[in-house]
A = this chain, B = another copy of it.
Amino acid sequence: MPYYSARVYITLRPSVLDPAGTAVRSGLAHLGHTQVNSIRIGKYIELSLEAENETTASQQVDRMCHQLLANPVIETYRFELEPLATPA
């Protein structure tokens, strides 16, 4: 079966407060980076998987995101799939 690489981007929904982002923004300001207006912290996940075809791979990654990788109540996710020549 072919291998695919997926890059998953998980971000907090815009309505959800991001205390870690606020802390980082204040940390940056203390270091002199006062030109930063907003900052939101999310997760970035790289995974490789085996699937029959790209459609199946996409469905599987979507299910993984929904079930475990993201919390759909407070987070949204998107991902990119790419065929891999060899397993990573």
Contacts and interface: CB of A to CB of B under 8 A. Distances in A.
Interface of A: 3, 9-11, 24, 27-28, 31, 33, 35-51, 60, 63-64, 67-69, 87-88
Contacts of A24: 45, 68-69
Contacts of A36: 47-49, 64
A44 B44 contact: yes
A35 to B, nearest CB: 5
A47 B38 contact: yes
Contacts of A48: 36-39
A33 B64 contact: yes
Contact of A60 (B27, B35, B38): B35
